[in-house]
């Protein structure tokens, strides 16, 4: 009889432990899955990604005057302090090297910015404190596409950085890209095609 009582006590203790564990599991709040942040994107109302760049944003013609396209970016990474915009011709090469044509390069765009308007003037220092570096024509500002013969792919890239770059206003593309290393939080790209 004592043995039977011992078994009953052990079984009751086991049931109590199971019940307690079940209650504890029910009371533990379930960790809700946080929705993932939408991707960092770059768009233009002037042309679609992969589309043909309209004449109004191309190289010097009687109607274009180096008119830069409007650009907008969204969902920048948390902690963004500044942006760098680089526009280059992937199909071009300079002096038989791997270098390609720099059509536009702006750095220290404020981290609060969400884009650039159409027709940014070719000044070195812009009103918001950002700096237009030298392009492949050794001038600050935008050079419109001007490829002949076949379509070239003009890539617009915006980089989100965790710092403001400390480089001189006459810094070259290589200097700016080097200063960006280790500080890139995210990158978004937009490609336009053009040929005359």
- Reported in sequence order, the residue ranges of 58-171 that DSSP labels E, i.e. its strands, are 71-74, 82-89, 101-110, 115-116, 131-132, 152-161
For the domain that residue 178 is a member of, what is the CATH number? 3.90.280.10
On whether residue 16 sits in a domain, the answer given is no
Is residue 171 in some structural domain? yes
Print burial letters for 6-43: b (CB count within 10 Å at least 16), e (below 16). Answer: eeeeeeeeeeeeeeeeeeeeeeeeeeeeeeeeeebebb
pTM over the 0.85 mark: no
In this structure, is residue 108 part of a structural domain?
Answer: yes
Judge whether 87 lies within some domain: yes
Kind and range of the H or E run holding 175: helix 173-180
Residue 20 lies in a domain: no
Look at residue 54 in the predicted model and tell me its pLDDT. 95
Strands 152-161 and 82-89: antiparallel
- In-domain check, residue 100: yes
Residue 57 DSSP symbol: G
Residue 10 lies in a domain: no
Burial of 178 (0-12, 13-18, 19+ CB in 10 A): exposed
Contact 71, 192 (CB under 8 A): no
Say if 36 falls within a structural domain: no
Per the structure, the count of domains in the chain is 1
Domain that holds residue 67: 41-194
Q: What is the pLDDT along the chain (196 residues), one digit of tens a residue?
A: 444 444 434 444 444 444 544 555 555 455 567 778 899 999 999 999 999 999 999 977 555 468 999 999 999 999 999 999 999 999 987 777 788 999 999 999 999 999 999 999 999 999 999 999 999 989 999 999 998 889 999 999 999 999 999 999 999 999 999 999 999 999 999 999 999 8
């Amino acid at each position: 009889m004592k043995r039977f009582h011992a078994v009953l006590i052990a079984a009751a203790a086991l049931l109590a432990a199971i019940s307690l564990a079940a209650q504890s599991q029910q009371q533990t709040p379930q960790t809700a899955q946080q929705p993932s942040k939408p991707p960092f994107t770059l768009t233009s109302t002037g042309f679609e990604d992969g589309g043909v760049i309209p004449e109004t944003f191309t190289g010097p013609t009687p109607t274009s005057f180096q008119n830069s396209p409007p650009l907008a970016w969204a969902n920048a990474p948390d902690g963004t302090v500044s942006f760098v915009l680089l526009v280059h011709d992937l199909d071009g090469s300079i002096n038989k090297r791997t270098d390609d044509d720099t059509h536009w390069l702006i750095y220290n765009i404020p981290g609060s910015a969400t884009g650039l308007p159409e027709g940014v003037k070719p000044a070195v220092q812009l009103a918001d404190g950002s700096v237009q570096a030298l392009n492949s024509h050794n001038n600050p500002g935008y050079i419109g596409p001007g490829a002949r013969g076949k379509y070239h792919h003009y890539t617009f890239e915006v980089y989100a950085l965790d710092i403001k770059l400390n480089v001189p206003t006459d810094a070259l593309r290589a200097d700016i890209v080097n200063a960006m290393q280790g500080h890139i939080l995210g990158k978004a790209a937009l490609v336009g095609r053009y040929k005359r």
